Amino acid sequence: MCPFSLLILLALSIYGPNLINADVLRPTQPPIFILGDSTADVGTNSYIPDCNATANFPHNGIDFVKSRPTGRFSNGLNSADHLARLFGYNSSPPPFLFLHSLKYGLQSGIYRGVNFASGGSGLLDETGLQLNVLNLPQQINQFVTVRRNLTAALGPELTEAFLARSLFCISTGSNDIFVYFKTRSTMPKEEFINLLMEAYENHIKTLYSLGARKFGIISVPPIGCCPANRLLNGTRCFEPMNDFARCFHSALDKLMCKLSSELHGMKYALGDTYKMTIDVIDNPRPFYFKNVDTACCGHGTLNAEGICNATASLCSDRRQYIFWDLFHPTHGAARLAANTLYGGPTLYVSPINFAQLAAEN
């Protein structure tokens, strides 16, 4: 990692958006619609009956207000929350299913955006099926309901303008790769990545047809370095899985470039979370992390042999850890990732960053 990039990322982690020109920093607060998996789930799965991928119990949320578990797979906030904060909100927009449970939620609570992300989901319909979570088509169907409510309240023209300035943030793909390895699939890597890209393209085009124009895309991090996956290789990063993550980003970069040339008015920012994360894992001290391989909360070797729950071993200083549990980042690591997505250089997010995407007309 070059020293200049390291300094930028370090400064972003400490000062956040203050490094960015104020005119770029605070565009008019865009509505934010968030889709994806557990890295962005702010409680969706807590509202799904018989869901087998939840986090609405201790020690999750130990650093949230009143140490309250919120359904986030985190000790505090996740990347979706931190991104929303950078755009001037207190936290991520609420889950669709929460708003749906309120008497007037879908009439009054949707104007700053909605979070549809569901932990355990992926790009493929079958990913997460056994966990009883919401796959991406189901999340998009929820957005259709939101769009219908917006149209009823604002009319077609204002709804079109509202959605055109909204950010559609998508964080997905990791679980599809997890399932590939867990099921010991024999499909060649290139064929599998192409399958994921076909699904991603269909999802983007569907959202575009519904009015989405600005896409903040979050790629797959070095998932082979998650504590649970390190156990597949002693305690070292499981490189075959990391190789899939790198190939995923490369293919996604080409796909987004192609789509932006085909879909009139579409703009995007693609976060290379593989590079931004591996750079921190390889050199954690400038970012004030000391532990890059062990889960803060869990059981057994690397705290990675069991989920984070009330009986799990819990680290005393969460600020020193990158990983909260078997797979997910801590509050601090998620904040660093969000700061980089929001205002980072093209080394980590391209062709523009999320702040520049929001400011685009």
| Rounded Cα–Cα distance for residues 233 and 239 (Å) | 9
The answer to whether residue 328 is catalytic is yes
- Which alpha helices (H) appear in the chain, and where do they start and end? 3-15, 22-25, 79-86, 96-101, 105-108, 136-154, 156-164, 174-182, 189-209, 227-230, 239-262, 273-282, 331-343, 354-359
Task: Sort residue 298 into left (φ over 0), alpha (ψ -120 to 50) or beta.
Answer: left
Helix, strand, or coil here: 48?
coil
CB 104: neighbour CB atoms within 10 A?
A: 8
Q: Which of 59, 82, 328, 331 is catalytic?
A: 328
272 as an active site residue: the answer is: no
Length of the chain: 361
Whether 100 is catalytic is no
Q: Is residue 233 a contact partner of residue 241, using CB atoms and an 8 Å limit?
A: no
Selecting among 219, 279, 325, 331, the annotated active-site residue is 325
Q: Which residues sit opposite 179 in a β-bridge?
A: none
Considering the candidates 13, 37, 38, 176, report the single residue annotated as catalytic: 38
Token code pair at residue 286: 């400038």
Q: Are strands 113-115 and 32-36 parallel, antiparallel or unpaired?
A: parallel
Q: What is the CA radius of gyration of the chain?
A: 19
What amino acid positions are annotated as catalytic residues? 38, 325, 328
